[in-house]
Structures are given as C-alpha cells and as structure tokens.
C-alpha cells in the first residue's frame, strides 16, 4: 500500500487520513467506514456488428457505449440507495458511512471483453481501451452522483472536501464513486472473468460431486477452436493440465496472442494495465501482478517501483509456487518418495482392544474431541467427534481421521503426519490452548504432536497463500488479493 498515493486521492483529508484499506487493497477507508462496491459485467456492454448464427462463423463485436452509460447511472443510483437501505452492525459504522457516502463502481469481465474485440491483453491497444472505458465510467458516474447531490443533497462532509471550493464546486452525493474490486465470487456467479485480470487458464478440470472429472473450457476459446477447426476433447484435456496455450502447435498464433493467460504476461504489462485503470478510478485498483517461480527480489523491487512511479495506490505481488509446502506435489522427488512408500506398504490389523487418550480442543467449528489409540507407545488410530457443526464438517472430520489412521497403521511416522496437517488454513481460525488453531486438521495435528511428537515446537501461523483448493484440491488462482477456484467455485477474499 502506497499510503501517500492513497491520501493524494483522499477527498476528505480535513476529516481524516487513510491508514489502511480493506483486505483486498482496493478500498481505502477512514475508521468505521464500510465498503459499498458494485461491478459492471463488461461482456454485457457489447453489441454484435456482424452477428453470425452459423457454427462456422465468428461474430464481430463493438462496445455499446450508450448501454454502458445507462448502466453506470443506474448502478450509481443503486449503490447510493444501498447506503440508506443497509443495516449496519454498529452505530459508528452507520454514522461514518453516511458522513462521506463512499461508493465504488468497477468492472469485471475485462479479459472477456478484450477477446470479444480481438485485442491481446498485453498490448498498447488494450491499455488505451482500458483508459477510455474507465474514463467513461468515472465521468458518467461522477455526473450521476452530482445529479443525485442536486436532488437528494450532498454528502454531509462536502464542505470539508476537495469538491467544495468555496461552495462553487461539484455538489457530489458521494465522496468517491469508482473502485476496481477483485470480484472473486460475483464473477464466478456471472460467468465472466474476474475484475481486470487476464485469464488464468482457458481450460480447467472440474470435479463434480460423484468425483467425475469434467473438462470445462472457456466458452469464447471453445467457440474459436470449433470455428477455426482445431477443437478436440483430447486437446482441451491437454490444455487443462497447463496454465498457458503458448506451447501448443495445434493452435494458430493469432489465437494464442488473444487468449494470453496471466503467466504469459510479463509483470510490467500487469502493472501497466493496473495503471491504466487507476488513472480514472477514485479509490484504488485490486489486481495481482503474477510472477514466475524464478522471480528474484530485484524483480519484485522493480514492479513495486514501477507501480509507484506510474501512479498506482498499491500493488499485489504473487510469485508462483511461493508456498513452501503444497497439498499436491509433482516432479521426480515426489514420485521417488511415493514409490518408496508404496514398495514397503503393509497395513497392520487392528487388535480387539486398544488403549488411548482423548483430548478436547477448541476449533472455529466448536469443541473437537480427539481420541488417539496406541500400541507400544506409538499412535495407531485416530477418531474425532465435533458437535453442532453440520453433517459436512462431521463427514470431513471422519474422512481425515480415517486417512490418518490408515497412514499410522501403514507405518508412516507420526511426525510426517503432523507435518502434513499442521498449519492448514480454514475459514474459521481461533485462538485456544495457547496458540492459533487454523482448522480441524490443524487441531488434530496439535493433539498428535502434544502426545506423540518428537518434542519440536510447531510454529503456528495462518498461511493463506495456498496452492490448491481446500474444497476440491484443484489448483487455485491468486487474483487481486483473492483466492479463487474455478473448478468448484470456492472463493476467499
């Protein structure tokens, strides 16, 4: 967060200065203010210039500027209404939100729009269009807020704002109007690309409830592939295993250029796209600057300085593979380890009677009762019971315990089990028993370590930079401070 840049765009510095933002970084707020954001789906802001219904033709599109203008005005009006209609959890939040009446209208579906217009994401044409589109949204949005200010009244702190100018300035209803949010969840619901991010991939493997794996292809890419004659299920399956189509000789070069993905785009292009939108955005822009695993400290420094120099208010860097331990692993080392375990695997039979210990431990889902039975001082099986948490949580807990028990009965050292489970992040971390309990697996790991570990201290900490989805184990995307799974819809912002 570039706090000086944030406050340069603060319209009410006489009221207070920004100290922080919301978690995704796009909305600087004063104490007790609240986010009130909305995003336009840009894929709905186009019209077909030449509309071909034939499966052998591709339609051509252009931006419907009149529809965009109408939608911006409606959205600003709607977001202003939300301020009044909302029920706030604290009186202070109610008061401060209504003092400055901040709203943040942004966009999603930007990558989709570029594809519809045939423009590569990492091109000067895309940067120019980004400025044109966001300038239009910002100008129309401010005009609508000023219209509301004339009819409904200005925001209470207007006379302390940069708009005032001795009473002759724009009579704004809202102190800020535009924001670019990550749209992690709503873009999945809307079926469009998130925020202003490029495509993370154009083909995915989705695991459905009966564990069937389905190949899901970006609809625009699928349409092009069929019309251009290079579509096949086999090719889509191969693409789903990667995050880029750059190496596929079956795909024409012009298609590769338009369907560029986040890992094909250099950090500088990522930054420049953020800059283009920030130029005409009141608040800030949520965007991830993707970097390869080979990125150096100097590469990160360069991105930070470029973003600051060109006017960004903050920047999110994500270096691929930066999590030290991954749920899934690939490569020769992982294969050798799996082969070694598999060659010596013997599952011990369970005796009729075992002795054990049961410990109660606090989790974000309620109290968890963990029972560990042992043989000759070594853990042999694990059971856990958690009440009033829902059938899914109970089922997941039982599944974890069965797998732990299978590992222990197969001779896997308890420290290896603890190492795999400890620190797994969940949706409801809590502090208890002298430390942070991140999830149910983490809680079980603490019990195992306490009673059967080798005495080494487990470093506690909540790691949100996961590489694979906690719900379906598919790979996840890091976009604008969000963690998103396109396979099952999981999102954490």
Residues 395-453: tens digit of each pLDDT: 889 999 999 999 999 888 998 899 888 878 777 777 765 577 888 998 999 899 888 87
Strand, helix or coil at 357?
Answer: strand
DSSP letters along 45-96, please? SEEEEE---STT---EEEE-HHHHHHHHHHHHHHHHHHHHH---SSHHHHHH
Percent of the chain with pLDDT over 90: 60
Question: Where residue 336 falls among pLDDT bands split at 50, 70, 90?
Answer: very low
Which of 141, 306, 114, 76 lies closest to 197, judged by CA?
114
Question: Where residue 313 falls among pLDDT bands split at 50, 70, 90?
Answer: very high
> How many whole angstroms separate alpha carbon 197 and alpha carbon 1?
19
Compute the mean pLDDT over every residue in the chain, rounded to the nearest whole number: 87
Select the more confidently predicted residue: 322 or 19.
Answer: 19
pLDDT of residue 458: 36
- Say if residues 40 and 314 touch (Cβ distance below 8 Å): no
Q: What is the pTM of this model?
A: 0.71
- Say if residues 461 and 443 touch (Cβ distance below 8 Å): no
Domains by residue range for the chain, with CATH: 3-195+264-319 (3.20.70.20), 203-260 (no CATH), 332-452 (no CATH)
pLDDT (tens digit, 9 = 90+) per residue, 167-184?
889 999 999 999 999 998
Catalytically active residues, by annotation: 22, 24, 26
Select the more confidently predicted residue: 454 or 349.
Answer: 349
Q: What DSSP state is assigned to residue 210? A: T
pLDDT (tens digit, 9 = 90+) per residue, 215-229?
889 999 999 999 999
């Amino acid at each position: 967060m570039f706090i000086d840049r944030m406050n340069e765009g603060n319209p009410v510095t006489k009221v207070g200065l920004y100290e922080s933002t919301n978690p995704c970084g796009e909305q600087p707020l004063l104490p007790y203010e609240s986010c009130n954001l909305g995003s336009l789906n840009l894929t709905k802001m186009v019209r077909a210039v030449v509309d071909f219904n034939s499966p052998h033709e591709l339609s051509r599109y252009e931006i419907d500027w009149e529809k965009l203008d109408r939608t911006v005005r409606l959205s600003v009006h709607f977001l202003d209404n939300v301020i009044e209609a909302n029920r706030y959890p604290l009186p202070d939040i109610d008061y401060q939100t209504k003092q400055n009446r901040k709203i943040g209208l942004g966009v999603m579906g930007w990558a989709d729009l570029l594809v519809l217009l045939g423009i590569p994401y990492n091109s000067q044409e895309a940067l120019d269009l980004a400025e044109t589109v966001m300038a239009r949204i910002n100008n129309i949005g401010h005009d609508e807020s000023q219209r509301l200010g004339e009819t409904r009244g200005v925001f209470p702190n207007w006379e302390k704002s940069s708009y005032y100018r001795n009473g002759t300035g724009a009579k704004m209803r809202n102190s800020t109007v535009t924001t670019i949010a990550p749209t992690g969840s709503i873009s999945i619901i809307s079926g469009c690309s998130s925020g202003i991010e490029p495509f993370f991939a154009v083909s995915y493997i989705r695991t459905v409830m009966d564990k069937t794996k389905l190949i899901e292809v970006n609809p625009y890419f699928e349409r092009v592939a069929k019309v251009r004659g290079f579509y096949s299920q086999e090719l889509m399956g191969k693409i789903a295993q990667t995050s880029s189509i750059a190496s596929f000789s079956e795909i024409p070069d012009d298609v590769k250029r338009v369907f560029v993905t986040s890992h094909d785009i250099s950090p500088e292009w990522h930054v420049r796209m953020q800059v283009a939108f920030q130029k005409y955005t009141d608040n800030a822009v949520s965007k991830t600057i993707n970097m390869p695993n080979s990125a150096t400290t100097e590469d990160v420094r360069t991105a930070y300085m470029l973003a600051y120099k060109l006017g960004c208010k903050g920047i999110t860097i994500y270096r691929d593979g930066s999590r030290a331990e991954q749920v899934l692993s690939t490569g020769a080392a992982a294969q050798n380890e799996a082969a070694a375990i598999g060659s010596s695997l013997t599952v011990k039979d369970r005796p009729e009677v075992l002795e054990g210990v049961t410990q109660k431990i606090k989790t974000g889902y309620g109290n968890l009762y963990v029972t560990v039975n042992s043989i000759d001082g070594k853990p042999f099986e694990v059971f856990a019971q958690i009440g009033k948490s829902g059938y899914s949580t109970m089922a997941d807990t039982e599944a974890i315990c069965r797998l732990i028990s299978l590992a222990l009965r197969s001779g896997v050292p308890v420290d290896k089990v603890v190492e795999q489970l400890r620190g797994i992040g969940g949706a409801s971390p809590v502090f208890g028993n002298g430390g942070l309990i991140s999830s149910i697996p983490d809680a079980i790991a603490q019990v195992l370590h306490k009673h059967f570990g080798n005495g080494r201290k487990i470093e506690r900490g909540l790691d949100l930079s996961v590489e694979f989805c906690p719900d379906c184990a598919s790979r996840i995307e890091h976009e604008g401070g969000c963690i998103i799974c396109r396979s099952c819809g999981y999102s954490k912002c």
